[in-house]
C-alpha cells in the first residue's frame, strides 16, 4: 500500500488555513458549481430569512447561519440541487429609528425639519450601511448563499409582488379597516401587531404604582340599599388599577354578575375619614386584617384599621348604580359613570371591580360600545375626536393638573433620583388628598415594551387596517400539524398555542419608510379600491389624468415609496377623488412575502416559484416564532392553502457566560470576525453547534483562553475523524 504523506506544521494557524480554503473555493467556483452541476437533479429548497444590514452582525448570526448551512451542504452532498438565494430586509422601524438617531430628530420632525423624500433617501442609504460586513462574515464563516442576486424588499418588483398579495387578501374580503384599541408605541410613533408585541423580551417585569381608587356612589333609588345602615356616611365602590394615568379617562365600572360583594364600614387610611366601601367578598382579606378594635375605638394613626361587614349581595344588584366622576376634567353625559356587568371580571386580584376607560383598553372599549357609554375624549386642532393622551404619550391641555406630562417615562428621567415622581405617583398623591384613594402601593407585574425602542407600550384607539386571520384560525392550526418542527415542542407549544389564540393581524404602520398600503379611498370612505400591480396603478392614473385629477401619467421608473405614491389621486366608480390611505404595512409582511416576491411572482418566474414552493427547510432564531415563521405560515395558509415550509429549526439564543443576552449596552458581545480570524471558521462552527442542541440556548464563555481550549479540542477531534476516514478510503 502506498504510504500517505501529510504536510507537517510546526504550529497550527487555524485562521490562515481557513483563508486558504476560502481562496480555493473562490478560485474554483466551488459553491456555484455545486449548484450548476446538479441541474436536473432533485431539488431541495431552502429559504433565507432576510436580515437587515443596518447593523453589524454578531456571534449569534454565526450560530444561526451554521444551522442553515449544515443541512444545505448535506443535501448537496446527497446529490440534490440546493439553490440558496440571499435576501435583505430593508424596510421598517429599525432603519427609521437609526436614521432619526443619526440625524438628531424625532418622528414629528419628518416633513418639517427634513422632507419625507430626503428622510426616506437617508433610510435607503442606511439600510445597506453594513452590507459589506455581512457579506464578509458570510464568506469568512463558509456560509454558502447567493449574494450576487439577492432579493431586496425595497425594490419595485418586490413591492409589486407584495401589493399583489395584499390585493388577494382584499378580494377575498379578508382586509378591513377598524377603529379598535391596539398596542401603540409612543416612542416609535406607530401601532404594533400582536406578533411584534410577543417578541422575546417585550414583556418585562416592572414595579409600577398601583392604586385602589374610591368612586363615590350617587344616592338614588337604585343605590338606596347601600345607605340603609348609615345614611350620612358616604359609600365608595373600590376599583384597582396598575395604570393610575388612565383614571382621568374613567367612564364606567365593571362587576361580575355572579360574584358576591360586601359593603364594609371602615376608615380611609390616608384621610382617616369614616367610609363605607364596596368590594368582592373573596378579596376582603387582601385589605383588612382581623383586629380587636371596634369602629368606635379607632383613632387616626392606629396601625390596624377596624372594619365591619354590613351586608353581602350579588354583583347584579350593583348594575345600574351611578357614581360621581373621579377626576372631572372632561365632563360626560349619561350613561357615563355607571356600573355595568363584564364577563372579564374575576376575583383573582384587585377588588373584583374593574375601572373602565373606553380609550385605553380592549375589554373597556368593547363593554362601552355594548352599553353605549361614551369615552373621555377631546377635540384636536383639526376638530377631530382624540383621547386625553396624545400620540407622544403626553396628557392633553384639558387635563390641567397634569397637562403635558408623559404618562410613562418616555423622556428618560432618572428614576433613581430621590426626587423623581412618576405621573402615576402624582395622580395617586392628588387622589389621596381628595379622599379618593383607598390604597396605594408598588406592584410588580409583567408589562409590554416596544420591541425596538425598549419603551413601554400603551393600549390606544387607532384606525387601522387588519387581515382577518381569525377567519382562518382552524386552517392555520391544521396546516401547522404538517410541519416538522425542531424542537417539536416549539411547533406544538409556542407556535401552536399562538395560532390557537390568534387575533386579527394589525397591518397598518404610521411611519414613512416601508411598503405603502395600496388602498385608495374617497374622503367620506364610501368608495375604495385596492391596487395589486404597477400596471394597474398606471392604468388608474391614466383615468385620473383624463378626469383632470392628475396632470401626467406615471413614468416606468416611478418610485412606489412615500412621498411619491402619496401624491397619486385616483378616480372612484362614481367619479370622485380617491386618496391613498397614508399607512405603510407591517414590515413582517414584507419578509413573510419572500417566497413569492423574491421571484417577482406572479408577474414573472412562475416556473421558478412553482419549483421552490413550499420550502423544504428554513431555520432562524426562536425569536422568529411569532415573527417570520408566523407571517410565512399565515400568508401561505390563507392565500395558497399550503404550508410555506416543511421543516424548520428554531435555534436558541447565544448568551454570555452568565446567561445574559448579549448586547452592546452590556459590553458582553463577542466579535465574530476576531473569533474566526483567530480560530478559523471550522472550529468556531463546530464549537457552537456541538456545545448545545441547536434549539437550546448556548452560553458563550467570552474568554479567549477558554474558547481556544474548547475550539482546539473540537478541531483535533474533527481532524482525527477526517484523517481516519481518508485512511479508510485510501486503503480501499
Looking at 451, 628, 686, 695, which residue is catalytic? 628
Distance of CA 566 to the CA centre of its chain: 26
| Cα gap 439→211, rounded to integer Å | 6
Distance of CA 634 to the CA centre of its chain: 16
Looking at 19, 83, 430, 661, which residue is catalytic? 661
- 3-class secondary structure, 611: helix
- Alpha-carbon Rg for the chain in angstroms: 31
Looking at 588, 599, 686, 695, which residue is catalytic? 588
Are 163 and 535 within 8 A, CB to CB?
Answer: no
Looking at 442, 664, 674, 713, which residue is catalytic? 664
HSE of 167 in the Cβ direction (CA atoms, 13 Å)?
A: 18
| Cα gap 155→132, rounded to integer Å | 19
User: Which set of grid coordinates corresponds to residue 386?
Assistant: 382624540
| Cα gap 16→28, rounded to integer Å | 19
Q: Which residues pair with 183 in a beta bridge?
A: 459
Measuring CA to CA, how many Å separate 580 from each of 529, 533, 537?
9, 15, 12
| DSSP 8-class letter at 622 | G
| Cα gap 615→85, rounded to integer Å | 12
Looking at 214, 276, 598, 624, which residue is catalytic? 624
Beta strands 85-88; 146-152: pairing state: parallel
Based on the residue annotation, tell me whether 664 is a catalytic residue of this protein.
Answer: yes
Based on the residue annotation, tell me whether 75 is a catalytic residue of this protein.
Answer: no
Are 614 and 646 within 8 A, CB to CB?
Answer: yes
Which residue, among 494, 507, 503, has the nearest Cα to 648 in the 3D structure? Answer: 494
Are 560 and 516 within 8 A, CB to CB?
Answer: yes
- 3-class secondary structure, 394: strand
HSE of 546 in the Cβ direction (CA atoms, 13 Å)?
A: 9
Based on the residue annotation, tell me whether 628 is a catalytic residue of this protein.
Answer: yes
Looking at 69, 81, 88, 89, which residue is catalytic? 89
| Cα gap 586→583, rounded to integer Å | 9
Which residues are identified as catalytic?
50, 89, 588, 624, 628, 661, 664
Amino acid at each position: 500500500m502506498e504510504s500517505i504523506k501529510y504536510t507537517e506544521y510546526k504550529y497550527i494557524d487555524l485562521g490562515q488555513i481557513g483563508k486558504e480554503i476560502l481562496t480555493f473555493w473562490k478560485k474554483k467556483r466551488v459553491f456555484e458549481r455545486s449548484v450548476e452541476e446538479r441541474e436536473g437533479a432533485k431539488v431541495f429548497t431552502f429559504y433565507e430569512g432576510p436580515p437587515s444590514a443596518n447593523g453589524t452582525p454578531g456571534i449569534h448570526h454565526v450560530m444561526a447561519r451554521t444551522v442553515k448551512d449544515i443541512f444545505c451542504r448535506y443535501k448537496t452532498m446527497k446529490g440534490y440541487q440546493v439553490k440558496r438565494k440571499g435576501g435583505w430586509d430593508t424596510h421598517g422601524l429599525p432603519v427609521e429609528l437609526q436614521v432619526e438617531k443619526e440625524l438628531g430628530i424625532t418622528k414629528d420632525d419628518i416633513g418639517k425639519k427634513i422632507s419625507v423624500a430626503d428622510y426616506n433617501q437617508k433610510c435607503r442609504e442606511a439600510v445597506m450601511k453594513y452590507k459589506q460586513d455581512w457579506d464578509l462574515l458570510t464568506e469568512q464563516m463558509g456560509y454558502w448563499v447567493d449574494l450576487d442576486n439577492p432579493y431586496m424588499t425595497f425594490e419595485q418588483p418586490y413591492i409589486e409582488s407584495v401589493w399583489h398579495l395584499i390585493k388577494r387578501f382584499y378580494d377575498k374580503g379578508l382586509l378591513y379597516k377598524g377603529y379598535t384599541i391596539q398596542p401603540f408605541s409612543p416612542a416609535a410613533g406607530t401601532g404594533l401587531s400582536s406578533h411584534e408585541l410577543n417578541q422575546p423580551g417585550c414583556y418585562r417585569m416592572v414595579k409600577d404604582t398601583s392604586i385602589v381608587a374610591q368612586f363615590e356612589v350617587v344616592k338614588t333609588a337604585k343605590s338606596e340599599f347601600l345607605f340603609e345602615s348609615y345614611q350620612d356616611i358616604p359609600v365608595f365602590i373600590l376599583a384597582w388599577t396598575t395604570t393610575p394615568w388612565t383614571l382621568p379617562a374613567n367612564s364606567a365600572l365593571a362587576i361580575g354578575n355572579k360574584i358576591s360583594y360586601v359593603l364594609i364600614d371602615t376608615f380611609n387610611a390616608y384621610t382617616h375619614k369614616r367610609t363605607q366601601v364596596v368590594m368582592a367578598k373573596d378579596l376582603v382579606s387582601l385589605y383588612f386584617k382581623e383586629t380587636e378594635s371596634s369602629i368606635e375605638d379607632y383613632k387616626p394613626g392606629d396601625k390596624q384599621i377596624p372594619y365591619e361587614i354590613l351586608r353581602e349581595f350579588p354583583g347584579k344588584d350593583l348594575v345600574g348604580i351611578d357614581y360621581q366622576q373621579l377626576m372631572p376634567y372632561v365632563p360626560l353625559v349619561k350613561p357615563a359613570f355607571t356600573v355595568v356587568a363584564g364577563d372579564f371580571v374575576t376575583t383573582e386580584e384587585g377588588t373584583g371591580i374593574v375601572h373602565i376607560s373606553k380609550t385605553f383598553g380592549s375589554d373597556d372599549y368593547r363593554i362601552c360600545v355594548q352599553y353605549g357609554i361614551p369615552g373621555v375624549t377631546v377635540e384636536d386642532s383639526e376638530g377631530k375626536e382624540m383621547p386625553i393622551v396624545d400620540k407622544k404619550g403626553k396628557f392633553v391641555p384639558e387635563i390641567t393638573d397634569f397637562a403635558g406630562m408623559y404618562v410613562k417615562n418616555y423622556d428618560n428621567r432618572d428614576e433613581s433620583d430621590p426626587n423623581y415622581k412618576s405621573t402615576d405617583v402624582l395622580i395617586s398623591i392628588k387622589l389621596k388628598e381628595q379622599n379618593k384613594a383607598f390604597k396605594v402601593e408598588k406592584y410588580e407585574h409583567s408589562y409590554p415594551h416596544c420591541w425596538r425602542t425598549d419603551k413601554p407600550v400603551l393600549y390606544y384607539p387607532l384606525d387601522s387596517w387588519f387581515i382577518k386571520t381569525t377567519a382562518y384560525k382552524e386552517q392555520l392550526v391544521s396546516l401547522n400539524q404538517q410541519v416538522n418542527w425542531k424542537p417539536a415542542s416549539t411547533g406544538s407549544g409556542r407556535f401552536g398555542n399562538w395560532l390557537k389564540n390568534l387575533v386579527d393581524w394589525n397591518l397598518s404602520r404610521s411611519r414613512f419608510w416601508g411598503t405603502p398600503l395600496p388602498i385608495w379611498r374617497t374622503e367620506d370612505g364610501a368608495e375604495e379600491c385596492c391596487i395589486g400591480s404597477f400596471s394597474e396603478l398606471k392604468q388608474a392614473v391614466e383615468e385620473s389624468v383624463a378626469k383632470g385629477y392628475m396632470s401626467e401619467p406615471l413614468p416606468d421608473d416611478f418610485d412606489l415609496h412615500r412621498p411619491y405614491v402619496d401624491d397619486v389621486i385616483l378616480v372612484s366608480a362614481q367619479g370622485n377623488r380617491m386618496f391613498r390611505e397614508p399607512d405603510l404595512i407591517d414590515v413582517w409582511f414584507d419578509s413573510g412575502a419572500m417566497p413569492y416576491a423574491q421571484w417577482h411572482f406572479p408577474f414573472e418566474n412562475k416556473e421558478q416559484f412553482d419549483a421552490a414552493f413550499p420550502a423544504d427547510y428554513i431555520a432562524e432564531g426562536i425569536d422568529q416564532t411569532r415573527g417570520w415563521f408566523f407571517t410565512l405560515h399565515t400568508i401561505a395558509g390563507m392565500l395558497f392553502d399550503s404550508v410555506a415550509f416543511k421543516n424548520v429549526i428554531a435555534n436558541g439564543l447565544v448568551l454570555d457566560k452568565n446567561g445574559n443576552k448579549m448586547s452592546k449596552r452590556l459590553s458582553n458581545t463577542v466579535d465574530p470576525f476576531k473569533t474566526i480570524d483567530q480560530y478559523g471558521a471550522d472550529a468556531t462552527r463546530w464549537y457552537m453547534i456541538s456545545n448545545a442542541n441547536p434549539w437550546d440556548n448556548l452560553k458563550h464563555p467570552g474568554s479567549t483562553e477558554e474558547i481556544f481550549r474548547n475550539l482546539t479540542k473540537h478541531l483535533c477531534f474533527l481532524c482525527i475523524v477526517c484523517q481516519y476516514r481518508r485512511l479508510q478510503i485510501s486503503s480501499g
